[in-house]
Amino acid sequence: MNSASEIQSVKQRFGIIGNSPLLNHAIQVAMQASPTDMTVLITGESGSGKESFSKIIHSLSLRKHGKFIAINCGAIPEGTIDSELFGHEKGSFTGAHEARKGYFEVTDGGSIFLDEIGELPLGTQARLLRVLENGEFIKVGSSKVLKTNVRVITATNVNLLKAVEKGRFREDLYYRLNTVPIFVPPLRDRGEDVVLLFRKFTSDFSEKYHVKPIMLDREAQMLLMRYSFPGNIRQLKNLAEQISLLEENREVDSQTLSKYLPREQSQLPMTLQTMAGGKESSDYSERDLLYKVLFDMKRDMNELKKLVLDSYKANGLNTSIMQKHQSLFEDMETSFATKETPEPSSNYAVPLVLDPQKNNSGNSEDYQEDVIEDILHEEDDNSLSLEKKEKEMILRALRKHNNKRKYAASDLGISERTLYRKIKQYEIDQ
């Protein structure tokens, strides 16, 4: 077991601030795993500092004089990630004008850190499994088996077991990676570490911007510790910089601090919290919930259109159809006990019952076909509306960050690889 003084020495060396038991335990496990060649899986939320632990493991290992490369798997497009990791031969694909060494060949004798390992395509996962089991790999476009001696350290902010259940991650690879698990605690579980980190950041920014350091009173400190910090250390650092630059009064109370803290997810409307699903609500961002609302609305509208079509086929909107689609009419004053055709709510733009005899052409069959065709065309338009909005959001984010995909993806709350796929899907010119 590592002593408290050894753990403190590692913290000072790698600039880790905090004394929470969860943090100390994670550092202790990293120190114990370092001298071995075992594969390590570091888990934790985005922004919690997982990369620092990969550096600890490499620097305290027998490979410390070898190369260390950190790779963000989510930032590499799916079409090129095999080439990046394992290399390629000249002419193996369009644009491969010369042979290239991959990271596993370059870091032979050293360590490689694969962040966002859950973003790896299934084909690449199979290649990685072969490296871990046999130390072998094949370049893209080659048939020659090459050897490498690399220590693999991985990290993820997603639940890989759930990804395995959904078929997005290989089960054999998961257990091969999870030889030594290290959990990096989120900032909200580290107690007074939040205040220590805030004090460190504001001190750094006071030197950078030549201003007096920010001081928090006790109530402000308690508010800081109660806040959930979904963005973890990155969010806290941004908060410290904002206050250091914008706040004239250098002694900050809780009321002033609250103006700089974004709204908590718990302050969302109750309907959104309910959709998040109890304990699973932490897996949803506010953007995810709003998307869910939009898709649910679209689904209900499509069901309503099917109902209208059914009513035409049945020559009227009868009681059985109303009962079948009762959930759509909960906000309408409709009695299902009577057989009379219910009056549509004034809030609905789509009529629930249309009388084919009221058309001007005099041909009810032609009128019915025209109405059905209009409804189907409208459904097609609605199916494209969300894609149009998504494309607009991507274009706006790219313009905001001067076409830098890394920062645009972060602003949109998606991985860089997902953004790359969306750019290709929507044929966006950069």
Residues 199-234: tens digit of each pLDDT: 999 999 999 999 999 999 999 999 999 999 999 999
What pLDDT is stored for residue 85 in this prediction?
Answer: 95
Closest residue by Cα to residue 14 from 46, 45, 48, 59: 59
What pLDDT is stored for residue 33 in this prediction?
Answer: 95
**Cα separations in angstroms, 211 against 27, 94, 144, 241, 300:** 34, 54, 60, 11, 55
CATH class of 4-185: alpha beta
What is the band of 397 on the pLDDT scale with cuts at 50, 70, 90?
confident
**CATH 1.10.8.60 location in the chain:** 188-262
Task: Tell me the mean pLDDT in the region 360-365.
Answer: 49
Task: Tell me the mean pLDDT in the region 134-143.
Answer: 93
Distance, in Å, from the CA atom of 312 to the CA atom of 330, rounded to the nearest integer, reads 22
**Cα separations in angstroms, 346 against 326, 350, 351:** 18, 10, 9
**What three-state secondary structure class fits 110?**
coil
At 401, give phi and psi (nearest 5°): -110, 25
Q: Which residue has the higher pLDDT, 322 or 15?
A: 15
* Residue environment code for 30-51, b if the CB has 16+ CB neighbours within 10 A, otherwise e: bbebbeeeebbbbbbbbbbbbb
Q: Which residue has the higher pLDDT, 273 or 171?
A: 171
Distance, in Å, from the CA atom of 351 to the CA atom of 358, rounded to the nearest integer, reads 13
What pLDDT is stored for residue 91 in this prediction?
Answer: 81
What pLDDT is stored for residue 208 in this prediction?
Answer: 92
Residue 15 confidence (pLDDT) above 80: yes
pTM of this structure: 0.62
**CATH 3.40.50.300 location in the chain:** 4-185
Contact 155, 111 (CB under 8 A): no
Q: What number does CATH give the domain 188-262?
A: 1.10.8.60
Contact 110, 100 (CB under 8 A): no
Contact 319, 325 (CB under 8 A): no
Please compute, for residue 147, the number of CA atoms within 13 A of its CA located in the half-sphere on the CB side: 3
Six-digit token string for 282: 């932490």
At 180, give phi and psi (nearest 5°): -125, 105
What pLDDT is stored for residue 368 in this prediction?
Answer: 52
User: What type of residue sits at position 305?
Assistant: K
Task: Tell me the mean pLDDT in the region 405-430.
Answer: 81
Distance, in Å, from the CA atom of 295 to the CA atom of 218, rounded to the nearest integer, reads 44
Residue 354 confidence (pLDDT) above 50: no
Angle at 176 between CA 174 and CA 182, to 5 degrees: 75
Taking the alpha carbons of 159, 160, 165, 169 in that order, is the dihedral positive or negative? positive
What pLDDT is stored for residue 262 in this prediction?
Answer: 85
User: What type of residue sits at position 419?
Assistant: L
Q: What is the dihedral of CA 58, 64, 69, 70, to 10 degrees?
A: 20
At 134, give phi and psi (nearest 5°): -120, -5
